[in-house]
C-alpha cells in the first residue's frame, strides 16, 4: 500500500473502509511506514479526519494516538472536545494535555469525559482541586477511587463540604487513610444526621429536642471513637476542630473522663486551660481538690459540674494512678459505677441531668463489655470450626 492509496481510502464514502483506513493511518504514523517525508501529509490527513462525520472513525484515531507524545497537539486537543467516544481515550491517557486543558474538559457535556479526567494514571493537586470545586458526583467518585490522585487537605475539605451528605462519596472519603481526623468527624456527623429519619431511629425522635439530643450523643461517641484511634497529632487536631465548632462541651469532657478516655480528656483540658499536657496530667495525679477546681475554672466549665469532675478524677486516680493512657474496658466500667454510687451517696442525685448522663455512659460501657466478652467466646469456636 502506498501513501496515495491510504489517502484515497480516507476519502471513501463507505464508513467501514474509512474506519480501517484511519487505523492504517495511525499504524503508518507509529511505524514511520512511508518515511520522514510523509509526516506532513499524514499530519494533514489526521487533521481532516477530525471532520469525518462518522464518530467511529474519529474514535479509532483517538484510541490510536492517545498514548503518543509525537502527534500534533492540535489534533489531540480537538479530540478531547469531541463526542464522548472519541474524547475519552485522549482525555484519559494523553500526556500532551496540560492541567488547564484537562480542567476545560470537565465542562464536557458527557459525564464519562469528566470521569476519564479523574481516572488518569496521575492527577495533580491542582487538577484534583478543580474537580473538587466544580465536578459532579460521578467524577468526584472516580477521583476518590483513583490511587494516582494527589488529594491535599484543602481538596478533601472542599469535597466534604460539597458532598458530605452523598452516601457513596462520604464512604469513599472515609476509606481514605490520609483523611484528616477533623474531616472524618464532620463526615461521620453527617452520617448521623441521615440516621435521624431511619426507621429504627425515627420512633425515638419525636421532636426537635429529641433530635438535638440524638445528634449530640452521636457526635460525642464519634469524637471519642476517633480519639481512641488517633495519635498525638491527630488528637490535637480533633480537639481543635471540636473547639472551633462548639463540640468541646462539658458533657463530652465528662464522658471522656468517666469512659476512661484519659488521653482525650488531658489534651482537651490542656487546650482549654493553656496548661501543657504533661503538667496537666501530673496535676490530675497529685493535685488537691482546690487545684483541680482551679483548672476546671480556667477551662471555663460550669461551677455546678466541679464536684462531679473532681470526684471522677479522684476515683480514676485510685483506679489507674496515671492519666497518660486510656483505661481498659473493665476499669472504665468500675470507674463509672463507682462515680454513680458516690454521687448518690453524697446527695448529688438531685443533679438529674448529670446522673442521667452517667447512667447512659454506664449502659454504653456495659454493652461494649458484653460485645467484647461474646467476641472472645466466639473466637475459639470459629477457630475450631
Q: Quick one: 223 and 261 in the same domain?
A: no
In the block, residue with C-alpha cell 442521667: 356
- Is 131 within a domain? no
Q: Say yes or no: 278 and 232 in one domain.
A: no
Residues 260 and 385 in one domain: yes
**pLDDT above 90 covers what percent of the chain?**
56
Residue 301, all three cell numbers: 466549665
Q: Is residue 107 part of a domain?
A: no
pLDDT over 70 at 349, yes or no:
no
Q: What is the pLDDT of residue 385?
A: 47
Q: List, for residues 145-188, the tens digit of each pLDDT value.
A: 999 999 999 999 999 999 999 999 999 999 999 999 999 999 99
Q: Write out the three cell numbers for 91.
A: 482525555
Whole-angstrom distance, CA of residue 322 vs CA of residue 201: 39
Among the residue ranges 123-132, 181-190, 323-332, 366-375, the one predicted with the least confidence is 366-375
Residue 102 counted as domain residue: no
Domain identity same for 264 and 385:
yes
Contact assessment for residue 188 and residue 165, using Cβ atoms and an 8 Å cutoff: no
Can you name the residues that pair with 149 across neighbouring β-strands? 123
For residue 350, pLDDT beyond 50: no
Grid cell at residue 244: 472551633
Average pLDDT over residues 29-51: 85
Residue that finishes a domain, picked among 97, 118, 134: 97
Of the listed ranges 55-59, 113-117, 208-212, 303-307, the one predicted with least confidence = 208-212
CB crowding 229-239: b at 16 or more within 10 Å, else e: ebeeebbbbbb
Amino acid 324: pLDDT:
87
Torsion of CA 84, 89, 95, 99, to 10 degrees: 30
pLDDT band of residue 382 (cuts 50, 70, 90) is very low
Higher local confidence (pLDDT), 214 or 282: 282
**Within-domain flag for 110:** no
In angstroms, rounded to a whole number, what is the distance separating the alpha carbons of residues 63 and 70?
14
Domain boundary residue, one of 34, 64, 97:
97
Given a cut of 50, is residue 86 above it in pLDDT?
A: yes
Q: Rounded to 5 degrees, what angle do the CA atoms 49, 52, 57 make?
A: 75
Q: Is the pLDDT confidence value at 85 over 90?
A: yes
Q: Are 90 and 76 in contact (CB under 8 A)?
A: yes
CB distance 86 to 61 below 8 Å: yes
Kindly report, residue by residue over 309-329, the tens digit of the pLDDT.
998 899 888 877 788 888 887
Query: Does 276 lie in the same domain as 197?
Result: no
What single-letter DSSP state applies at residue 53?
A: S
What is the residue-averaged pLDDT of the chain? 87
Residues 291-302 have a mean pLDDT of 94
Other beta carbons within 10 Å of 74 = 12
β partners of residue 123: 149
pLDDT for 193-237, tens place per residue?
Answer: 777 666 655 565 666 766 677 777 888 889 999 999 999 999 999
Judge contact between 59 and 85, C-beta under 8 A. yes
CA distance 207 to 199: 15
What is the Cα 165 distance to its own chain's centre?
Answer: 12
One domain, residues 203 and 290: no
Q: Examine residue 265 and state whether it is found in any structural domain, yes or no.
A: yes
- Tell me if 274 is assigned to some domain: yes
The region, left, alpha or beta by phi > 0 then psi within -120 to 50, assigned to residue 35 is left
Query: First vs last Cα of the chain: how many Å apart?
Result: 69
Would you place residue 340 in the very low, low, confident or very high pLDDT band (cuts 50, 70, 90)?
A: confident
pLDDT score recorded for residue 115 = 97
pLDDT higher than 60, residue 273: yes
Comparing 345 with 69, the larger pLDDT belongs to: 69
At 331, is the pLDDT very low, low, confident or very high (cuts 50, 70, 90)?
A: confident
Together in a domain, 71 and 55: yes
Digit-coded pLDDT (tens) for 252-263:
999 899 888 999
Same domain, 220 and 296: no
Domain boundary among 80, 97, 114: 97
Q: 136 Cβ partners below 8 Å, 6+ apart?
A: 111, 114
Band the pLDDT of 133: cuts 50, 70, 90.
very high
Count of domains observed in the chain: 3
In the predicted structure, residue 346 carries a pLDDT above the cut 60: no
Structural domain of residue 82, as residue ranges?
1-97
The CA distance from 182 to 62, in Å, is 43
**Residue 365 pLDDT:** 73
Same domain for 373 and 311? yes
The answer to whether position 304 is within a domain reads yes
Q: What is the DSSP string of 98-156?
A: -HHHHHHHTT-S-HHHHHHHHTSS-B-HHHHHHHHHH--HHHHHHHHT-TTB---HHHH
- For residue 2, tell me if it sits in a domain: yes
Residue 295 and residue 336 share a domain = yes
Based on the fold, state whether residues 372 and 302 are members of the same structural domain.
Answer: yes
Give, in order, the Cα–Cα distances in Å from 194 to each of 173, 201, 209, 211, 311: 17, 10, 17, 11, 37
Q: Which residue has 487545684 as its cell numbers? A: 291
Handedness of CA 225, 342, 210, 272 (dihedral sign): negative
- 257 and 244, same domain (yes or no): no
Q: Which of 290-299, 346-355, 370-379 has the lowest mean pLDDT?
A: 346-355
Amino acid at each position: 500500500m502506498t501513501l496515495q492509496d491510504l489517502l484515497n481510502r480516507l476519502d471513501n464514502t463507505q464508513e467501514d473502509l474509512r474506519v480501517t483506513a484511519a487505523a492504517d493511518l495511525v499504524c503508518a504514523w507509529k511505524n514511520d511506514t512511508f518515511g520522514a517525508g510523509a509526516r506532513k501529509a499524514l499530519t494533514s490527513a489526521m487533521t481532516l479526519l477530525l471532520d469525518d462525520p462518522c464518530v467511529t472513525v474519529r474514535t479509532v484515531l483517538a484510541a490510536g494516538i492517545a498514548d503518543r507524545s509525537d502527534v500534533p497537539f492540535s489534533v489531540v486537543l480537538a479530540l478531547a472536545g469531541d463526542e464522548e467516544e472519541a474524547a475519552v481515550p485522549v482525555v484519559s491517557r494523553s500526556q500532551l494535555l496540560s492541567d488547564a486543558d484537562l480542567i476545560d474538559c470537565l465542562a464536557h457535556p458527557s459525564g464519562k469525559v469528566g470521569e476519564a479526567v479523574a481516572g488518569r494514571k496521575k492527577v495533580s493537586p491542582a487538577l484534583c482541586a478543580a474537580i473538587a470545586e466544580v465536578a459532579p458526583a460521578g467524577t468526584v467518585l472516580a477521583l476518590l477511587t483513583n490511587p494516582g490522585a494527589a488529594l491535599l487537605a484543602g481538596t478533601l475539605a472542599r469535597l466534604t463540604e460539597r458532598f458530605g451528605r452523598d452516601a457513596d462519596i462520604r464512604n469513599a472519603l472515609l476509606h481514605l487513610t490520609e483523611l484528616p481526623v477533623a474531616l472524618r468527624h464532620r463526615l461521620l456527623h453527617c452520617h448521623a444526621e441521615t440516621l435521624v429519619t431511619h426507621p429504627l431511629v425515627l420512633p425515638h425522635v419525636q421532636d426537635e429536642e429529641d433530635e438535638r439530643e440524638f445528634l449530640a450523643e452521636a457526635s460525642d461517641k464519634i469524637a471519642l471513637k476517633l480519639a481512641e484511634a488517633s495519635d498525638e497529632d491527630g488528637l490535637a487536631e480533633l480537639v481543635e476542630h471540636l473547639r472551633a465548632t462548639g463540640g468541646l462541651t462539658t458533657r463530652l469532657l465528662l464522658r471522656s473522663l468517666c469512659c476512661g478516655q484519659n488521653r482525650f480528656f488531658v489534651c482537651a483540658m490542656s487546650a482549654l486551660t493553656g496548661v501543657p499536657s504533661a503538667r496537666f496530667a501530673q496535676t490530675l495525679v497529685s493535685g488537691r481538690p482546690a487545684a483541680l477546681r482551679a483548672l476546671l475554672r480556667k477551662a471555663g466549665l460550669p461551677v455546678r459540674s466541679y464536684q462531679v469532675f473532681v470526684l471522677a478524677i479522684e476515683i480514676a486516680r485510685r483506679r489507674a494512678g496515671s492519666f497518660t493512657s486510656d483505661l481498659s474496658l473493665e476499669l472504665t466500667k468500675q470507674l463509672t459505677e463507682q462515680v454513680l454510687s458516690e454521687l448518690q451517696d453524697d446527695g448529688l442525685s438531685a443533679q438529674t441531668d448529670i446522673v442521667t448522663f452517667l447512667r447512659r455512659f454506664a449502659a454504653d460501657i456495659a454493652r461494649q463489655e458484653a460485645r467484647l466478652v461474646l467476641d472472645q467466646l466466639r473466637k475459639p469456636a470459629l477457630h475450631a470450626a
